[in-house]
Amino acid sequence: MKKILYLSLMIFLLVSPSAFADPATEVNKKSQVTEFKPVYFKVPNEWSKVEKSSNDYIRMIYHYNDDTILNIYETSAKGKTLINTVTTEKIVLNNITYHFSPVLNYPKGGNLNWINQGIYFEMDSIKLDKNQMLELANKIIN
């Protein structure tokens, strides 16, 4: 009986058509290709950089000894607004307004965002303080 069941199952599997599908691609119609050149700046030689990008943004993640030091996100400024919270501080340097929001209950770190020449920048870190982040942001735009 087992042999008949096994043989029937094998014949069924061999004769039945295979199921397959062509690969599908998903198109997000809200997404648009943004054309801008990513802005890079010089960092210490000990830092490594991981770059992730899509059609409309680029993210650079800087590491030191497998520890994330800094994230920088760049995209088109079209339709973007700067992030403001209760603790956001506006800082104007070289005719650019930076918005800095500190990490609460943490000695360092925060989120710094600004718009320059049609590009929205967002920088976040829990390793660097506000002044260090502003110094790096100034290097990006100069």
The tens digit of pLDDT for each residue in 37-82 reads 677 777 788 888 888 888 888 999 999 998 999 999 999 888 888 8
Maximum CA pair distance of the chain?
87
| CB half-sphere exposure, 39, CA atoms < 13 A | 21
Q: Decide which of 85 and 102 is more confident.
A: 102
Q: What is the pTM of this model?
A: 0.70
User: How many helical (H) and strand (E) elements, i.e. helices and strands, does the chain have?
Assistant: 2, 7
Burial class from Cβ neighbours inside 10 Å (0-12, 13-18, 19+) for residue 112 reads buried
Burial class from Cβ neighbours inside 10 Å (0-12, 13-18, 19+) for residue 46 reads exposed
Tokens of 35: 């054309």
34-141 in CATH: which number?
3.40.1000
pLDDT confidence of residue 55: 82
Where do the structural domains in the chain lie, given as residue ranges? 34-141
Q: Where are the alpha helices (DSSP H) in the chain?
A: 2-15, 130-141
